[in-house]
Amino acid sequence: MIAALLLPALLAGIIEGFLSFLPGSASVAGWLAMLFTPVLFIALALYRIGRTEGRAGLLAGAGRAAHLVAGFGVGLLGFVSNGVLAQVSLRFLAVLLGPEAAQAVFEAELQRAAPLVSGGPLFQAAVFVLLAVVTPFAEELFFRGYVYRGLRHHWGVPAAAVLSAFIFSAFHFYLVQALPIFAAGLLFALLYERTGSLLAPMVAHGVINAAVVLLMYASG
């Protein structure tokens, strides 16, 4: 599991490092990393799940409409809670690091998303599909379908939900957004446990990402 978590970041870093030597390749490197990571997540998750617990129940057909509704509702709740928890996290960092340092961290994290709103309509549509559809599918398959289920098998639901949410948050390498991402990961794990299908957390994840991307477009 540790190797599976480290491999996407390691290979993405190698690709970016290699392309950094080529002139004018910075944007290409970023796009390759964004595309490569979900593909690798899907491949690793399907491979590991097939070798361990099996793939049964990952996208259960029974109650699919109810799972869609539950995912949409949890996604809206997650989007609202993300904004609240981001403010809590920012205030905590202000106490810990000082207001100016905390604001600098926050602005640096915002800059990571700046290239996503810099293109034209076609570019923004591609970003939207990638972040609101492809990424939620890949990350839920990996973090809930593989990581959470593997941890649950050994340590039970409560510990697995918390640990998988922590791993999910740590993988994104944010400070201000670490708490909101952790909370979202916890919601996704509990939603999967409740429904028995990855469809609901995939929808919830997609709703949150879609709302965030649309908000970035509106404010950009």
Please answer whether residues 131 and 110 qualify as being in contact, where contact means their C-beta atoms are separated by less than 8 angstroms. no
Q: Taking the model in full, what pTM does it have?
A: 0.86
In this predicted model, what pLDDT tens digit does every residue of 65-120 receive, in sequence order?
888 999 999 999 999 999 999 999 999 999 998 999 989 988 888 887 777 777 78
Q: Spell out the long-range contacts of 87-95 with Cβ–Cβ below 8 A and sequence spacing 24 or more.
A: 88/179, 89/175, 89/176, 89/177, 89/178, 89/179, 89/180, 90/176, 93/175, 93/176
- Answer yes or no: is pLDDT of 165 > 80: yes
- Answer yes or no: is pLDDT of 44 > 50: yes
- Answer yes or no: is pLDDT of 152 > 60: yes
- Assign 3-class secondary structure to 11-75: HHHHHHHHHCCCCCCHHHHHHHHHHHHHHHHHHHHHHHHHHCCCCCCCCCCCCHHHHHHHHHHHH
46 against 90, higher pLDDT: 90
- Answer yes or no: is pLDDT of 134 > 60: yes
- Answer yes or no: is pLDDT of 26 > 60: no
Cα–Cα distance for residue pair 201/195, rounded to 1 Å: 9
Cα–Cα distance for residue pair 60/46, rounded to 1 Å: 16
- Answer yes or no: is pLDDT of 25 > 50: no
Nearest to 190 by CA among 150, 159, 211, 167: 159
